[in-house]
Amino acid sequence: MIDIIRQRRSIRKFTEKTVDNEKLKLLQEAALRSPASKNANAWEFVFVQDMELIQGLAASKPFGSKFLETAPLAVVVAADDTKTEAWVEDCSVASIFLQMTAQSLGLGSCWVQIHGREHSEGLNAESYVQSLLGIPSNLKVLSIIAIGYPVKERQAKDAADLQWEKIHLNKFTDRSE
Ligand SMILES: Cc1cc2nc3c(=O)[nH]c(=O)nc-3n(C[C@H](O)[C@H](O)[C@H](O)COP(=O)(O)O)c2cc1C
């Protein structure tokens, strides 16, 4: 697992190669194995491979979603917020499970934030995605996880460059000065 964590970088440019059914099934299984608060499992996952719909998803936000255009797979992560107050956490855990599983399968991925973002003036990105994919309005949309084969591998971050000062032992140490 630590090697998968070390190698993962956000990938925003994908080759045309599609994600085969075996990998698709493993990604779906991983999403469904995500831990969820009170075991509520209030999430729903829309696996989108239709390139026309993916072009639509790429237009979810003015910035930060256009790269979806080349993704052969986009997974929309949503949850019913009437079933759990921890829907953001539950969807976040599932999103990262999808990303780490993608990495373990030799795929690249990137998170596209939808919750709290605007599509255009007067329309939020969530309503836009709901309407594009027919997702009912009781399902809150947290993210879209773009998945595919990277055009170029990205270099892993060097361990020496990590913000080790953010680790505190036993008690918080103020290092702001
Ligand atoms: C909650 C969250 C929201 C993100 N939203 C976006 C996004 O909307 N568009 C995007 O291109 N990348 C997005 N990212 C990816 C981050 O930009 C990326 O993880 C960060 O720059 C660190 O780079 P790395 O993933 O290569 O380590 C998001 C990541 C997280 C965790």
State the Cα–Cα distance between residues 60 and 44, nearest whole angstrom.
19
Q: Tell me, using a 6 A CB cutoff, whether residue 113 lines ligand 1.
A: yes
| Phi, psi (deg, nearest 5) at residue 19 | -85, 120
**pTM, two decimal places:** 0.98
Q: Tell me, using a 6 A CB cutoff, whether residue 7 lines ligand 1.
A: no
Distance from the CA of 40 to the center of ligand 1, in angstroms?
A: 27
The answer to whether residues 70 and 119 touch, using CB atoms and an 8 Å cutoff, is: no
Residue with the nearest Cα to atom 29 of ligand 1? 111
> pLDDT tens, 4-36?
999 999 999 999 999 999 999 999 999 999 999
Q: Considering only CA atoms, which of 131, 103, 101, 120 is closest in space to residue 29? A: 101
Domain residue ranges in the chain: 2-166
Q: Tell me, using a 6 A CB cutoff, whether residue 145 lines ligand 1.
A: no
CATH top-level class of 2-166: alpha beta
Pick the atom of ligand 1 nearest to 114's CA.
Answer: 8
State the Cα–Cα distance between residues 145 and 95, nearest whole angstrom.
7
> pLDDT tens, 32-70?
999 999 999 999 999 999 999 999 999 999 999 999 999
The answer to whether residues 112 and 135 touch, using CB atoms and an 8 Å cutoff, is: no
